[in-house]
Amino acid sequence: MASRSCTNLLGLANSGLLDFPSTPSPRPLPRVMTVAGIISDLDSSNDADSDAASSVCRDRKIIVANILPLHAKKDTETGKWCFSFDEDSLLLQLKDGFSSETEVIYVGSLKTEIDVNEQDEVAQTLLEDFNCVPTFLPHDVHKKFYLGFCKQQLWPLFHYMLPICPDHGDRFDRSLWQAYVSANRIFADKVMEVINPDDDFVWVHDYHLMILPTFLRKRFYRVKLGFFLHSPFPSSEIYRTLPVRDEILRGLLNCDLIGFHTFDYARHFLSCCSRMLGLDYESKRGHIGLDYFGRTVYIKILPVGVHMGRLESFLNSSATAAKIKEIQERFSGKKLILGVDDMDIFKGISLKLLAIEQLLQQNPALQGNVVLVQIVNPARGLGKDVQEAKSETYLTAERINEAYGSSNYKPVILIDSPIPRWEKTAYYAVAECCIVNAVRDGMNLVPYKYVVCRQGTPCMDKALGIEADTPRTSMLVVSEFIGCSPSLSGAIRVNPWDIDAVADALNLALTMCMSEKKLRHEKHYRYVSSHDVAYWARSFMQDLERACQDHYNKRCWGIGLGLGFRVVSLSPNFKKLAIEHIVSAYKRTTRRAIFLDYDGTVVSQASIMKSPSPEVISTINSLCNDPKNTVYIVSGRGRSSLSEWFAPCDRLGIAAEHGYFIRSSGTSEWETSPVVADLDWKEIVEPVMTLYTEATDGSTIEVKESALVWHHQDADPDFGSCQAKELLDHLENVLSNEPVVVKRGQHIVEVKPQGVSKGLVAEKVLLRMVEEGTAPDFVMCIGDDRSDEDMFESILSTVSSPSLPAPPEIFACTVGRKPSKAKYYLDDATDVVKLLEGLATASVPKPRHLAQIQVSFESALC
């Protein structure tokens, strides 16, 4: 890999946090390779070194996280920095999930600050010796980014803590957000220095870097980008309070794959996307996907695992064996309960101590026989809340020890100094029960580590003084609010706020019969050992590769400014319908068929006024008055409203209720679909829809002559969608023997007769034109809904019929950039009206003297 020297970024602090300087690199980035026929969206470079880099097809993964998996220490004698890998870092351990030929590059910050004058030398050393690219955030930016926005605003919010008052969390601070944006931009610039966008996969980790994907996607439209959130994702009611909620959601949606530990976290994210961005999701062959401007953003649900080899190495350590003997001697004859937690307000340490107090109070026989060893890891953040939690923990422990302890017995032992991994391993191996009582936690691997350590190894068995065939047990009491809880089906799950229930759970864990303890442990160990960190990394990367496999099969272009940027990705044949293109075809043809949907096409779905504007009426009238045109409005609306609204358009054809009623002009009679014998099924449908309407606030029933429609556009998005699915299933069951079709559309569920569709309307009109000797040489069809796809399909099949003397020019156009059977798209109803106005202008005959001037001018040119 070509080396890149790192650049001094301290100028960022002096130039303003939102003034994002590009990070210069001594060599150009690798040239972006594209497949034939698809133009690259990126700049191309002819640098020979770039070409060489691009030609290498070695598998590379770029792992981006806040902290690099490194230890850094400065030699006091030489003044040189010494670095080593942090073997306990998840980022380093996940490499086991990749093939041995995979090159892994890490991008992130060091745990210690490096002097500006030393940064270039350190960066070169880290890149060459450790494949690490340090970010070197300016001190002020790092402080506001990590200790400010990440720890004071995102961390509490993602753990369901709202800043309701100044003493309960910090209010939103715009300067901290700007630092967060700046830091994410610096991380992105560092990725750009080393990435080969054609081949490399980028995997971003955790809430520190949630808008980094926007910067990468803006630079490389087809970058292969995954993200995994290691913290909880809050419910929409909590998340929506964040003033920059949309920017963060759009940042995550610029990834190809987003990973969560549990379905609850993923469900909350999807709900936020639905409520705040109006995006729907669906499951495709077992994979959850969000359609985001033509790109499918996939959702991955899989909790991270532990590194089995690392744990077993500690179990086989002589230091661990010695510590085990020491613990056994110290707590001889006592049952040991273990807790291992960081010191913060969400880990529930004080609640755990209250449960121990309740356990001892309710079970006097346990007094003197049970000990809780609570290992307290150093706090990751600073602040008043951490100090308060620490003070409360010590006061509670002291009170319990005074009430139930003695000169040679303390029921609660707090270890709040940093202890080595092997010492924790010894406590895991000896403890009869492990309790994780967090009120909210993203994952928490303590229960997994406990299970593996209780399984033991031959060396561990020797240290414990047990036989190899001794039954293994690992009793777990876990909070139902932590990420690992769903995967530990044999654990005793508790509500940490219910002190009595936690005390009872601890008593059950200590007194449960050996056979059941053994079965629970076996179940846990099977899962933990088979779903380790390598399995997690391998599974995530396989899904990321699957999510990116169609990148070069689509055309891509960027839209949106700043953090609202996103990439539109559509089929190479799917393009915006240009007015000049269709007007040119319009002018050279003489027999035109025009089909227009109504709602969402000529009138916006968001418009409160559903009747057409005077401009729309005038434009459609101009099209209808051209004798070369046959124009139809094809809508799901009833004939009475359509007749009233388009009364001024005498020559306009109207197909109402999806074609159940049709007339060729304002003066002709309505024709009714011949396929429908009766509408008795309405008596079955209406009571069912009424039931759902009463149960779903904001929903309504639209009664048509031939159909019934249940609308839920004004209902709660999640509940309305859920009720629509239920209603669809309900109606399909009760109408299984009736001649009707039950369809779900955009915010609707509709029941209509079989054999009635917009596609049949288009087919009928086109065949009638052929029979009358005016076979069309121009067909335009515009619509926005699923029902309009029937028209697009019908037109394509009808015009290929041998009854047509020559194939017409076809302009099938959907409204909105989305997958469609149409070849063209327009962005919205405003674009549709502009297009129709352009065609109407082309239809208006020019005054005779202007026509003569034009002929004379063209003759002169010849």
Q: What residue has token string 């030393």?
A: 118
Whole-number Å distance between alpha carbons of 847 and 394:
95
Average pLDDT, the chain: 87
Distance CA 108, CA 24 (A): 17
Structure tokens at 162: 């709202």
Residue 702 lies in a domain: yes
- How far apart CA 533 and CA 364 sit, in angstroms, is 42
Give domain status of residue 559, yes or no: no
- The pLDDT-based confidence of 607 (bands split at 50, 70, 90) is confident
> CA triplet 13, 194, 301: central angle to 5 degrees?
90
Q: Are 312 and 444 found together in one domain?
A: yes
Which residue among 705, 720, 753 closes a domain?
753
Same domain for 685 and 587: no
CA distance 783 to 815: 6
Average pLDDT over residues 853-861: 46
Is 27 inside a domain boundary?
Answer: no
Domain at 658, CATH number: 3.40.50.1000
* Predicted confidence band of residue 453 (pLDDT cuts 50, 70, 90): very high
Q: What pLDDT score was predicted for residue 857?
A: 41
Shared domain check, 285 and 212: yes
Look up the CATH number of the domain holding residue 688: 3.90.1070.10
pLDDT number for residue 278: 86
**Token pair belonging to 569:** 């990705």
164 versus 810: which is more confidently predicted? Answer: 810
Please tell me the distance from the alpha carbon of residue 668 to that of residue 308, in angstroms, as a whole number.
Answer: 80
The encoded tokens of residue 748 equal: 């609707």
CA-closest candidate to residue 359, choices 142, 510, 155: 510
State what percent of residues in the chain have pLDDT above 70. 90
pLDDT at 46 over 50: no
Are 662 and 701 within one domain?
Answer: no
Residue 855 banded pLDDT, cuts 50, 70, 90? very low
Looking at the structure of the chain, the number of domains it has is: 4
**668 and 687: one domain?**
no
Which tens digits make up the pLDDT trace of 705-749?
A: 888 999 998 898 889 989 999 999 999 999 988 888 898 887 899
pLDDT attached to residue 47: 37
Residue written as token pair 């009808």: 798
Say if residues 814 and 822 touch (Cβ distance below 8 Å): yes
For 118, the token pair is 């030393």
Any domain includes 848: no
Mean pLDDT in residue range 317-344 = 94
Candidates 66, 91, 205, 70; CA nearest to 147 is 66
> Which pLDDT belongs to residue 31?
34
Is the distance from CB of 325 to CB of 429 less than 8 angstroms?
no
Q: Identify which of 584, 589, 614, 587 has the alpha carbon closest to the alpha carbon of residue 602.
A: 614
- 336 contacts 373 by C-beta, under 8 angstroms: yes
For residue 555, give both structure tokens.
């055309």
The reported pLDDT for the residue numbered 854 is 47
Give Cα separations from 435 to 262, 328, 365, 400, 494 (angstroms).
20, 19, 21, 18, 10
Is the CB of residue 837 less than 8 Å from the CB of residue 613? no
Q: Give the pLDDT confidence score for residue 57 in this predicted structure.
A: 55
- Look at residue 19 and tell me if it is in a domain: no
- Last residue within a domain, chosen from 722, 753, 784: 753
Indicate whether 282 and 320 sit together in one domain: no
In 10 A of CB 126, how many CB atoms?
Answer: 21
User: Residue 527 pLDDT more than 70?
Assistant: yes
Provide the pLDDT for residue 382: 67
Strands (E), 219-286: 224-228, 257-260, 281-284
> Does the pLDDT of residue 38 top 70, yes or no?
no
Q: What is the pLDDT at residue 746?
A: 79
Contact 794, 764 (CB under 8 A): no
> b vs e for 340-365, b when ≥16 Cβ sit within 10 Å of the residue's Cβ?
bbbbbbbbbbbbbbbbbbbbbeebee
Pairing, β 60-67 against β 201-205: parallel
Pairing of strands 412-415, 433-436: unpaired
- Residue 251 and residue 115 share a domain: yes
pLDDT of residue 23: 36
Q: Which of 697-704's residues contact partners 24+ apart within 8 Å by CB, and which partners?
A: 699/723, 704/638, 704/657
* 318 plus 272 within the same structural domain: no
Domain with 333, as residue range(s), is 308-531
Sign (positive or negative) of CA dihedral 513, 516, 519, 522 = negative
| Side chain identity, residue 514 | M
**According to the model, what pLDDT value does residue 19 have?**
39
354 against 797, higher pLDDT: 354
How far apart (Å, rounded) are the C-alpha atoms in residues 287 and 652? Answer: 46
DSSP labels for 571-638? Answer: -TT-EE--HHHHHHHHHT-SSEEEEE--BTTTB-TT-S--SPPHHHHHHHHHHHTSTTEEEEEE-SS-
Cβ burial, residue 285 (10 Å; 0-12/13-18/19+): exposed
Strand order in the sheet with 629-634: 575-576, 824-826, 809-815, 778-783, 592-596, 629-634, 653-656, 661-663, 671-672
Statement: residue 362 has pLDDT above 60:
yes
Asked whether the beta carbons of 359 and 447 are under 8 A apart, the reply is no
**Beta carbons of 448 and 484 less than 8 angstroms apart:** yes
If pLDDT is split at 50, 70 and 90, which confidence band does 799 have? confident
Q: Is residue 734 domain-shared with residue 778, that is, in the same domain?
A: no
CA distance 594 to 580: 17
Whether the per-residue pLDDT at 168 is higher than 70: the answer is no
Identify whether 34 is part of a domain: no
Query: Bridge-partner residues for 71, per DSSP?
Result: 84
* 229-240 residue pLDDT tens: 999 999 999 999
Mean pLDDT of 247-269: 96
**pLDDT for the residue numbered 845:** 60
Matching residue, tokens 């079709």 = 741
Residues 686 and 651 in one domain: no
Q: Is residue 521 part of a domain?
A: yes
- If pLDDT is split at 50, 70 and 90, which confidence band does 676 have? low
The mean pLDDT value for 9-23 works out to 36
8 Å CB contact between 117 and 557: no
45 pLDDT exceeds 80?
no
What pLDDT digit, counting tens, does each position of 474-502 carry? 999 999 999 999 999 999 999 999 999 99
Say yes or no: 193 and 216 in one domain: yes
Lowest mean pLDDT among 72-76, 108-112, 119-123: 72-76
Q: What is the pLDDT of residues 758-779, one digit of tens each?
A: 999 999 999 999 889 888 999 9
pLDDT, residue 677, reads: 61
Residues in the chain: 862
CA distance 610 to 633: 15
| CB count in 10 Å sphere of residue 448 | 28
CB 325 within 8 A of CB 423: no
- Residue found by looking up tokens 């913290």 in the block: 231
Question: Which helix (H) or strand (E) element contains residue 836?
Answer: helix 829-843
pLDDT digit string (tens) for 569-606? Answer: 888 888 889 999 999 999 999 999 999 999 999 999 87
Cα separation, 696 vs 727, in Å, equals 11
The per-residue pLDDT for 680 is: 87
Tokens 């209406």, residue located: 686
When pLDDT is cut at 50, 70 and 90, the band that residue 281 belongs to is: confident
Q: Out of 26-40, 232-246, 329-343, 660-674, which region has the weakest mean confidence (pLDDT)? A: 26-40
Find the mean pLDDT for residues 285-297: 89
Banded pLDDT at 22 (limits 50, 70, 90): very low
Which residue among 263, 283, 301 closes a domain?
301
Please give the backbone phi and psi of residue 303, each rounded to the nearest 5 degrees, phi first: -70, 145
Residue 122 sits in a domain whose CATH number is 3.40.50.2000
Domain for residue 567, yes or no?
no
SS3 readout for 635-695 = CCCCHHHHHHHCCCCCCCEEEEHHHCEEECCCCCCCEECCCCCCCCCHHHHHHHHHHHHHH
SS3 343: coil
Q: Does one domain contain both 297 and 343?
A: no
pLDDT of residue 384: 74
Say if residue 675's pLDDT is above 60.
yes
Per-residue pLDDT band for 216 (boundaries 50, 70, 90) equals very high
Which three-class secondary structure state does DSSP give residue 49?
A: helix
